[in-house]
Amino acid sequence: MNAEIISVGTEILMGQITNTNARYLSEKLASLGVDVYFQTTVGDNFERLKQALSIAFSRSNMVILTGGLGPTGDDITKEAAASYFDMPLYLNDEALAAIEKYFQKLNRKMTKNNEKQAMFPKEAIILPNDNGTAPGCIMEKGDKAAILLPGPPNEMVPMFEKYVIPYLKEKSRDVIYSKVLRFIGIGEAALEERLSDLLESQTNPTLALYAKEGEVTVRVSAKAKDENEAKKLVEDMCGVLISRCPDEFYAYGDDNSLVKVVCKALMERNLSISTAESCTGGLLGQNITSIPGASQIFSQGIITYSNSAKMQYLGVREETLKTHGAVSCECAKEMAQGMRRISNSDISVAITGIAGPSGGTAEKPVGLVYISLAHKNGVCVKKFNFSGSREKIRNYAVLNALNLVREYLNGTLDKQGEKLLNKNKCSVWRIFIWRIKRLKKKAQLTKRMLY
Amino acid sequence: MNAEIISVGTEILMGQITNTNARYLSEKLASLGVDVYFQTTVGDNFERLKQALSIAFSRSNMVILTGGLGPTGDDITKEAAASYFDMPLYLNDEALAAIEKYFQKLNRKMTKNNEKQAMFPKEAIILPNDNGTAPGCIMEKGDKAAILLPGPPNEMVPMFEKYVIPYLKEKSRDVIYSKVLRFIGIGEAALEERLSDLLESQTNPTLALYAKEGEVTVRVSAKAKDENEAKKLVEDMCGVLISRCPDEFYAYGDDNSLVKVVCKALMERNLSISTAESCTGGLLGQNITSIPGASQIFSQGIITYSNSAKMQYLGVREETLKTHGAVSCECAKEMAQGMRRISNSDISVAITGIAGPSGGTAEKPVGLVYISLAHKNGVCVKKFNFSGSREKIRNYAVLNALNLVREYLNGTLDKQGEKLLNKNKCSVWRIFIWRIKRLKKKAQLTKRMLY
C-alpha cells in the first residue's frame, strides 16, 4: 500500500511554521507498512489544492491531507476534496452537535461560521475531534480515498491515532508489526557501531535508527502473512538488540519517554522525588509534572537560581560557594542533600551548571553541568560537559538527571558510570559517591538552612 | 517571481527527520518577494525526482532543490536535474580541487567516489561549499533555472545566503518589506473579526494571520519599487493594526516571544520576579530562565505541587485550603503573596489549577486555573477556563501568567480584565483585586510560613 501526504497551509509556504505534521505522518505510515513516495505542501488556494490532489491521485490511491479545516473562508481543504470527488456538502447534524458541545465546554458561544465545519459529503466517514472544533473525514470513491485531518498537531495526532490507524490496518493485506526500542546514554554513532553487522544484513525485520536530542531509538519492523509470524521476527531481533546494550536500553514504545518510564518506576515502588534546580530553572520539575498523576511521587521542587537562594532554601554553605563556586560537584551535592532534608522525599535530584550562551570560563566552560542524586544511603554526583545551544544544554541536563534516577532505581549507578567513562569515551562520567556519615547533624543543618 | 522547493531525501519520506530546509527557504524567499506555491518532497529516486521536476517546471520557472548531492550512488539530484535539462556532466577541475582542499583541511584523504561531487554540466554556475564536500550549482536553460543545494542545513544555509540571495536579488525587480506583529489575549477568530475590513480589502500590503498556541501573529508584507516605499506601506498598516488592538499587541518580530518581551521589560525596569507554581510544576520558571541573562531578574521559584508544600514554603493557610481548596482564587492569592514575602522580589506570580486529564469535578473542571500576581501595592488574581490536553492547559497557564506580568507593567491590568470579560467574550476574566491592608502582619506570617 502507498500513500501521499498533502499539507495545506499558506503559513507553511511562507515559512512561518515547520511542517512537523508531514514528518509525523510519514513516520507512522512507515511503521504501518504504507510507503510514502511524495509529500506536497500547497497554500490555502482552492484551484492549486485541486491540482495537487489530481497529481497525487495519479500516483497513489490514498492521500492524507492536513490543515484547512477551520471555520473561515480561507479554509478550503474539505471543499476542494469534495469538489475533486464531485460530492456535494451537506450540514451534518451530529458533527454540528459535537462542535456546539465543544463550545459549551469552553463556555463560549459558537459563531455562525463554525457551521461550515459541520458540512460533509453524505458518503464521508466523519472523524470526531476531541481537541478542537474541526472534525476530520475520510472521502472514498472507487479505489481512491482522501483522509482529511486538522492542521494543529495537538488535534491531528490524537485523531490519526484513534481513527485513522484502525482504518489503515483494516485496508492492509500484509501484516506489519513493529516495535521501537529506546536507548539512553549512548550516541547514535556508537550504537550504529555496536549494531553494524545487524544493520548491514537487515532484510526482514528492518532496523531504523533515529537520534533525538540525547537519546536514540531503533524501530524494528517485520512484514509477514500473519501477526504471530511478524511478532516473532520482531521479538527475536529485539532480544538481540537489548543483549548488545543492556544498560542503555530503557524502554519500548514510540510514545514512551524517559520521564514517563522513570515516573512510572517511582510510582510502582512508591518512592517520592523532589528537585532542586539552578541552570534548568524548573525544566526538570516541569518534565516530572507533565506526567498525569505525578502528585503521587512529586510534592515539591525549588528553583534556586541565585547563590543566596541556594543558601536560603537548601542550606548550601557559603564556604562551598566561595571555595568551589555554584557550578561544582560540592554545591550540587549540598543542593541535593538539602532538598532531601527539607522535603523528606526518598530521592532528591539537583542540577547546577552553565547553560550559556555566556558565563563560561576556560576552567568552567558553557555546558559544564553537575547533577546530583541524594538517597537514603548517600549522595552521588555526575559531571557532564554538554555542547550546543542553551536550550540543548538544559534539555540534556534534564534527560541525564532522569537517567541518573533510572540508574539508581536499576542499581546500575556505579557500573554505568565507570563503563561510560572507560569504554565508550562518553563525556559523561561519575566522580564521587559519598556516604552521609553524620546523620546526627541533620537537625542542626535543617535549622541553619531555614535561616 | 515565483519558485518551488523540492526536498530530496528518503529519510524525510520515512519521517526520520523534519524538513526544516523547506521552512528556511520558504521564509527567505517570502522575504525576498519570491512567491512559493508548492513544496514537494521526493525520495532518492531518479525517475520520481525527474517527474517532480517536470511537474514543478510546468508551474514555475525556478526550482530550488535540497539534498542528494552526496558522493554515494543514492545521491541522484544533480544527475536527475542534468538529465531533465539534457545536459551531460563533466569533471570540473576547480570543484575537484576545492573538495580535495576540504579533505586536506580535515586531515583526511579524499576517496574516489567524492569525484562524483565535482561532476557538473559545462553551463552550470558552481556554488562552493565552505562547510562540506558537496558543491551546489545553478543550471539554467531558457527561462528555467534549477538551484541545487546540499541537504545538511549547516551547509545549505551558508551557501544560500552567500551565493543564492545575491543571484535572486539580481533577478528580481520589486523590493519586498515585511513585518510581523504579535498579539496575545485575543483569539484568531476575534482578531479576524476586528480586522475583517482590512483583510477583505488587502492588496498591497497583504496581511497573513497565524495562530500559535495562545497567541496570534500577523505578517504585513508590501511590494514596491524601492525599499522606502515598501517600508512606508508596511509601517502605515502596522499603525492601523495596533490602533485596533492596542492592549493585545505586544511586540514585533518573527522570533520574538512573550517571555522574551516580558523578561526584557523587567530587566529594563530593574524589577525582580519570582514564581510559585502548582499545576505548571516549573514550566513558568523554565520559561523565564530560558532567556539568557534571566539571573538579572529571577533568583528563585518554588514548585509547590502538594498542599503541604504550599503551606510549608508559601504560608498558605490550612483554613484556606480546607475552605476553598488548592485550586481557588484565595489559594492563588496567598501563594503569590507568600512567594513575594520570602523572596523579597518586586513581583511574584503564582499558578494553581487542574491540568487534567483527571482530577476535575463539575464545580472545578479540568482546565480551571487561577493565576495571581503580587506586587508592591497589592495582589490580583485572574480565573481561566482552558481546554485541551494537559500540555496545552499548562502552556496556556504559563502564557497567561506572563501576560499578566505584561499587563501589570503596562498598567492595563484593570482595564484589560474588564474589557475581555465584557466585550470579547473571552474565557479570561478578572475576579478580584485585593489590597494588602495589614502589612504589619508580615513578620508573623513569615515565621509561620517557615515552619
* Whole-number pLDDT of residue B178: 85
* Candidate ranges A420-424, B224-228, B230-234; pick with highest mean pLDDT: B230-234
> What is the rounded average pLDDT of the residues A115-122?
94
Which domain range does residue A134 map to? 2-171
- Which of B4, B14, B342, B394 is the mutation pick for testing A, counting most A CBs within 10 A? B14
What pLDDT is stored for residue A429 in this prediction?
Answer: 34
Q: Which of A416, A422, A338, A325 is nearest to A374 (CA)?
A: A338
Q: What is the pLDDT of residue A51?
A: 96
| pLDDT over threshold 60, residue B89 | yes
Is A39 within 8 Å of B38 when comparing Cβ atoms? no
| A206 contacts chain B (CB < 8 A) | no
- Residue whose grid cell is 543543618: A445
Q: Looking at the structure, do residues B297 and B376 belong to the same domain, yes or no?
A: yes
Q: What is the pLDDT of residues A88-97, one digit of tens each?
A: 999 999 999 9
Give the CATH number, domain containing residue B239.
3.30.70.2860
Taking residues B73-82, report their average pLDDT: 92
User: Position A48: which residue type?
Assistant: R
Residue B323, chain A, CB below 8 Å: the answer is no
Residue B396 has pLDDT above 90, yes or no: yes
Same domain? A8 vs A35: yes
Find the closest chain B residue to A107 by CA distance.
B427
Work out the average pLDDT over B101-117: 84
The answer to whether the Cβ–Cβ distance between B289 and A306 falls below 8 Å is no
Mean local confidence (pLDDT), B165-186: 87
CA B405 – CA B413 distance, rounded (Å):
9
Q: Do A282 and B284 touch (CB under 8 A)?
A: yes
Which of A37, A210, A369 is the mutation pick for testing B, counting most B CBs within 10 A?
A: A37
Interface predicted TM-score of the whole assembly (ipTM), two decimals? 0.73
**What is the pLDDT confidence band of residue B136, given thresholds at 50, 70 and 90?**
very high
Chain A residues with beta carbon closer than 8 angstroms to that of B24: 15
Cβ within 8 Å of residue A133, ≥6 positions away: A70, A71, A99, A102, A103, A114, A117
CA distance A216 to B448: 49
Selection from B387, B396, B394 nearest residue A102 by Cα: B387
Q: Do A302 and B303 touch (CB under 8 A)?
A: yes
Residues of chain A in contact with residue B42, where contact means CB-CB under 8 angstroms, are 37-38
- Residue B109's pLDDT is 80
Q: Quick one: average pLDDT of B136-152?
A: 96
Find the closest chain B residue to A27 by CA distance.
B15
Number of domains in chain A: 3
Domain end residue (candidates: A217, A252, A287): A252
Same domain, B368 and B446: yes
Mean pLDDT of the region B377-393:
92
Interface contact A254, partner B, CB < 8 A: no
Q: What is the pLDDT of residue B437?
A: 30
pLDDT tens string A357-409? 999 999 999 999 999 999 999 999 999 998 888 998 999 999 999 999 999 99
Residue B416: predicted pLDDT: 43
Same domain, A222 and A349: no
CB pairs < 8 Å spanning A and B? 252
Q: What DSSP state is assigned to residue B441?
A: G
Q: What is the CATH number of the domain that holds A297?
A: 3.90.950.20
Give the tens place of pLDDT for each residue, B306-361.
999 999 999 999 999 999 999 999 999 999 999 999 999 999 999 999 999 999 99
pLDDT at B414: 60
pLDDT of residue A127: 97
Which range has the top average pLDDT, A67-81, A101-115, B332-346?
Answer: B332-346
User: Is the CB of A11 inside 8 Å of chain B's CB atoms?
Assistant: yes
Instruction: Please answer yes or no on whether A23 and B25 come within 8 Å at the CB atom.
Output: no
Measured between CB atoms, which of A15, A16, A300 is closest to B303?
A: A300
For residue A357, cis peptide bond before it (omega within 30 degrees of 0): yes
Q: Is the peptide bond before B357 cis (omega within 30 degrees of 0)?
A: yes
**Which residue of A16, A292, A356 is in closest CB contact with B390?**
A292
3-state secondary structure chain A: CEEEEEEECHHHHCCCCCCHHHHHHHHHHHHCCCEEEEEEEECCCHHHHHHHHHHHHCCCCEEEEECCCCCCCCCCHHHHHHHHHCCCEEECHHHHHHHHHHHHHCCCCCCHHHHHHHEEECCCEEECCCCCCCCEEEEEECCEEEEEECCCHHHHHHHHHHHHHHHHHHHCCCEEEEEEEEEECCCHHHHHHHCHHHHHHCCCCEEEEEEECCEEEEEEEEEECCHHHHHHHHHHHHHHHHHHCCCCEEEECCCCCHHHHHHHHHHHHCCCEEEEECCCCCHHHHHHHCCCCHHHCEEEEEEECCHHHHHHHHCCCHHHHHHHCCCCHHHHHHHHHHHHHHHCCCEEEEEEECCCCCCCCCCCCCCEEEEEEEECCEEEEEEEECCCCHHHHHHHHHHHHHHHHHHHHHCCHHHHHHHHHHCCCCCCEEEEEECCCCHHHHHHHHHHHHC
Chain segment A205-241, per-residue pLDDT in tens: 988 777 777 788 898 988 888 889 999 999 999 999 9
pLDDT above 70 for A421: no
The predicted-structure confidence for A401-413, as pLDDT tens digits, reads as follows: 999 999 999 988 7
* CB-CB under 8 Å, A42 with B27: no
Average model confidence (pLDDT) for chain A?
A: 88
Tell me the mean pLDDT in the region A421-441.
Answer: 32
Would you put residue A425 in left (φ > 0), alpha (ψ -120 to 50) or beta?
A: left
Query: Are the beta carbons of A108 and B427 separated by less than 8 Å?
Result: yes
Q: Which residue on chain B is closest to A21 by alpha carbon?
A: B18
pLDDT at B255 over 90: no
Chain A residues 104-123 with CB within 8 Å of chain B: 105-109, 111, 113
A24/A255 Cα distance (integer angstroms): 12
| CB within 8 Å: A16 and B289 | no
pLDDT at B62: 97
Are A146 and A98 in the same domain? Answer: yes
Beta carbons of B388 and A131 less than 8 Å apart: yes
In this structure, are B166 and B180 located in the same domain? Answer: no
Of A171, A188, A210, at which residue does a domain stop?
Answer: A171
CA distance B438 to chain A (A): 24
- Out of B23, B282, B290, name the one closest to residue A391 (CB): B290
Pairwise CA distance, residues B33 & B233, whole Å: 15
The reply to whether B299 touches chain A by the CB within 8 Å rule is yes
What local confidence, expressed as pLDDT, does residue B451 receive?
33
In angstroms, the CA B272 to CA B257 distance is 19
What is the structure's pLDDT at A151? 95
For the segment B166-191, the average pLDDT, to the nearest whole number, is: 86
Give the pLDDT score at B193: 86
Q: What are the backbone dihedrals phi and psi of residue A337, each rounded to the nearest 5 degrees, phi first?
A: -65, -45
Quote the pLDDT of residue B66.
97
Strand partners, A145: A62, A140
Mean pLDDT of A266-282: 98
Examine the pLDDT at A76 and tell me if it is beyond 60.
Answer: yes
Average pLDDT taken over every residue of chain B: 88
Q: Which of B30, B388, B427 sits opposite A14 (nearest CB)?
A: B30
- Residue whose C-alpha cell is 576547480: B94
**Residue A16 and residue B219: Cβ atoms within 8 Å?**
yes
Are residues B439 and B293 part of one domain? yes
- Domain boundary among the residues A156, A171, A186 is at A171
Same-domain pairing of A280 and A421: yes
The verdict on a CB contact (< 8 Å) between A280 and B289 is: yes
Give yes or no for A275 touching B (CB within 8 A): yes
CATH code of the domain in which A76 resides: 3.40.980.10
pLDDT at residue A87 tops 60: yes
Identify the pLDDT of residue B415: 46
Do A301 and A382 belong together in one domain? yes
The share of chain A scoring above pLDDT 70, in percent, equals 92
Q: Which helix (H) or strand (E) holds B4?
A: strand B2-8
- Does B403 share its domain with B278? yes
- Chain B, window 361-390: residues with a beta carbon less than 8 angstroms from a chain A beta carbon: 385, 387-390
* Residue A305 to residue B300, Cβ atoms within 8 A: yes
Is A263 found in the same domain as A220?
no
Mean per-residue pLDDT for A140-159? 96
Tell me: do B46 and B82 sit in the same domain: yes
Average pLDDT over residues A74-84: 95
The pLDDT assigned to A214 comes to 77
Cβ neighbours for B371, distance < 8 A, ≥ 6 positions apart: B332, B349, B350, B351, B381, B382, B384, B397, B400, B401, B404
Interface check for B58 against chain A (CB to CB < 8 A): the answer is no
